[in-house]
C-alpha cells in the first residue's frame, strides 16, 4: 500500500499569511479534522487542486481525496497553453496549483474513494439538504454537504491479443514515464490526437524511429504540434502509417512485432520494440453513476454551465465531464464554477430549515 503523508492543518493568522508558492516547507497533504465538510473533492489532478484553492478562499470546510496526486497532466513534459505560463512541464503545473491550494485551510489526503452514499438528515432542526457519506479505501468515513467529482479518466486499451500479455514489456500507455526504456529502438505509437502527437514527439527523444499508426486519414493534433511532427518526419524520426489498425501484438518475453490489418510496405507483420497506446481515455464516473448522477453514452458526467449535475449538491469538472474540449484550463474553469455553485447551494440550504 502507498505510504501516506499526513500533516496537521495550519491555522491562518495575521502573522501566518499565505507563503510564496515556492516555499519548500509548505505541507502538501493535511489530515481530516471536521465532522462535516462543506465540500468533498474527489480527485487529485489539476482540476481538483484548483477547486480546493477556490473552496479554501470561500472559507469552505474542504477536503480533497486523490488517488494518484497530480493526475494525467504529469505525464506530459511540455505544457505551453496554460495562461500565465509560456512553457512548463505538466508536473510543474500540477505542483503549482496544488501549492496554491495548500496556501488555504484545505485538507488533502492521498486516498482512493471507494464509495459515496446519500443520507437524508433525520433530526427535526436540520436543513432539508441531504448529507453525503464518503468512504475511502482505508475505511475512513467523512460527511460532506456537497461533492465535486474531478476524477478524470483512465487510459483506453486497444483490446487486441497480446496487449495484456506484454503490458509493461513493450506495451505502454505513458510516453513520458516509459519512453526512456527504448533508447535507439523502433517504437510504434497508436493514436492521432493532440496528446498522441505530443507523446510521439517525446518518444523521438529516445527511439531511433517512431511510427505513428493511425486508423483515420490524417492525425489531428493542434497545428503547432502538427508542425513539430512534420519537422520530425523531415528529419526521418517519425513516419505515419494512416488508415491502419493494430490487430495483434506479438513477441516472446518482450514485444517483437505487431500485426496490422493491412500491409505496410508489402507486409502485415511490422517489427518493433515497443508499442505505445494513446487512443484516448475512459471517464472514471462509476462512483457518480452509483450515486444517481446522469452520464452520457460515453459515461461522461453531464453538467450544465454552472458545473452542476442532475443531483442537488453534486458537481463535476474536468476530464470526467461531457465537455468536448478537454484541457487543464477548461477543467479548471469548470472547477471554479462548481465550487461557486456549491458555495451558493450551501448558503441557500442554510436558510431553508425544516418546517
Ligand X SMILES: Cc1cc2nc3c(=O)[nH]c(=O)nc-3n(C[C@H](O)[C@H](O)[C@H](O)COP(=O)(O)OP(=O)(O)OC[C@H]3O[C@@H](n4cnc5c(N)ncnc54)[C@H](O)[C@@H]3O)c2cc1C
Q: Using CB under 6 A, list all residues that contact ligand X.
A: 42-48, 65-69, 71-73, 75-76, 79, 81-82, 112-113, 150-153, 195, 198-199, 284, 287, 318-319, 326-329, 331
- Cα separation, 17 vs 31, in Å, equals 20
DSSP lists the bridge partners of residue 42 as 65, 149
Integer CA distances (angstroms), 69 to 51, 92, 172, in order: 14, 13, 20
Residue pair 290/308 in contact (Cβ under 8 Å)? The answer is no
DSSP lists the bridge partners of residue 189 as 212, 276
* Residue among 54, 52, 48 nearest 67 (CA): 48
Name the residue nearer to ligand X (CB basis): 45 or 162. Answer: 45
From the CB of 96, what's the least distance to ligand X, in Å? Answer: 13
* Residue among 266, 351, 317 nearest 49 (CA): 317
Name the residue nearer to ligand X (CB basis): 74 or 246. Answer: 74
Residue pair 217/242 in contact (Cβ under 8 Å)? The answer is yes
Residue pair 291/299 in contact (Cβ under 8 Å)? The answer is no
Would you report the helix, strand and coil content of the chain in percent, each value rounded to 5?
Answer: 25, 30, 45
Name the residue nearer to ligand X (CB basis): 9 or 327. Answer: 327
Name the residue nearer to ligand X (CB basis): 135 or 245. Answer: 135
From the CB of 123, what's the least distance to ligand X, in Å? Answer: 30
From the CB of 190, what's the least distance to ligand X, in Å? Answer: 14
Q: In what order do the strands lie in the sheet with 267-271?
A: 246-251, 255-264, 267-271
Q: Is 155 helix (H, G, I), strand (E, B) or coil?
A: strand
DSSP lists the bridge partners of residue 36 as 143
* Residue among 83, 54, 38 nearest 337 (CA): 54
| CA dihedral for 296, 151, 113, 11, sign (positive or negative) | negative
**For residue 333, how many C-alpha atoms fall within 13 Å in the half-sphere facing its CB?**
12
Name the residue nearer to ligand X (CB basis): 42 or 336. Answer: 42
From the CB of 134, what's the least distance to ligand X, in Å? Answer: 9
From the CB of 27, what's the least distance to ligand X, in Å? Answer: 18
From the CB of 231, what's the least distance to ligand X, in Å? Answer: 18
Residue pair 272/211 in contact (Cβ under 8 Å)? The answer is yes
From the CB of 317, what's the least distance to ligand X, in Å? Answer: 7
Name the residue nearer to ligand X (CB basis): 79 or 129. Answer: 79
From the CB of 154, what's the least distance to ligand X, in Å? Answer: 8
Amino acid at each position: 500500500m502507498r505510504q501516506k503523508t499526513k500533516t496537521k492543518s495550519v491555522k491562518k493568522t495575521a502573522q501566518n499569511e499565505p507563503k510564496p508558492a515556492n516555499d519548500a516547507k509548505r505541507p502538501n497533504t493535511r489530515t481530516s479534522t471536521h465532522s462535516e465538510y462543506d465540500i468533498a473533492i474527489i480527485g487529485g489532478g489539476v482540476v481538483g487542486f484548483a477547486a480546493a484553492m477556490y473552496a479554501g478562499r470561500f472559507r469552505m470546510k474542504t477536503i480533497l481525496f486523490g488517488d494518484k496526486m497530480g493526475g494525467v497532466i504529469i505525464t506530459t513534459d511540455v505544457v505551453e497553453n496554460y495562461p500565465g505560463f509560456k512553457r512548463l512541464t505538466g508536473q510543474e503545473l500540477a505542483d503549482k496549483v496544488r501549492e496554491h491550494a495548500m496556501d488555504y485551510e484545505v485538507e488533502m489526503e492521498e486516498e482512493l474513494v471507494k464509495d459515496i452514499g446519500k443520507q437524508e438528515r433525520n433530526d427535526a432542526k436540520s436543513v432539508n439538504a441531504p448529507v453525503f457519506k464518503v468512504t475511502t479505501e482505508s475505511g475512513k468515513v467523512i460527511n460532506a454537504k456537497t461533492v465535486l467529482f474531478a476524477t478524470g479518466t483512465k487510459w483506453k486499451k486497444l483490446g487486441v491479443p497480446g496487449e495484456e500479455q506484454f503490458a509493461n514489456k513493450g506495451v505502454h500507455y505513458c510516453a513520458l514515464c516509459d519512453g526512456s526504456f527504448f533508447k535507439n529502438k523502433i517504437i510504434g505509437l497508436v493514436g492521432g490526437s493532440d496528446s498522441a502527437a505530443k507523446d510521439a514527439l517525446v518518444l523521438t527523444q529516445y527511439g531511433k524511429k517512431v511510427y505513428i499508426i493511425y486508423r483515420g486519414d490524417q492525425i489531428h493534433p493542434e497545428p503547432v504540434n502538427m508542425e513539430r511532427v512534420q519537422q520530425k518526419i523531415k528529419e526521418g524520426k517519425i513516419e505515419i502509417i494512416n488508415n491502419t489498425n493494430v490487430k495483434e501484438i506479438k513477441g516472446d518475453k518482450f514485444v517483437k512485432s505487431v500485426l496490422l490489418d493491412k500491409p505496410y510496405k508489402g507486409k502485415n507483420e511490422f517489427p518493433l520494440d515497443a508499442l505505445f497506446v494513446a487512443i484516448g481515455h475512459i471517464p472514471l464516473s462509476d462512483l457518480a453513476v452509483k450515486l444517481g448522477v446522469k452520464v452520457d453514452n460515453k459515461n461522461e458526467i453531464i453538467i450544465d454551465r454552472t458545473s452542476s449535475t442532475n443531483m442537488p449538491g453534486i458537481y463535476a469538472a474536468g476530464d470526467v465531464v461531457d465537455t468536448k474540449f478537454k484541457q487543464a484550463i477548461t477543467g479548471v474553469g469548470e472547477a471554479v464554477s462548481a465550487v461557486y455553485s456549491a458555495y451558493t447551494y450551501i448558503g441557500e440550504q442554510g436558510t431553508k430549515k425544516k418546517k
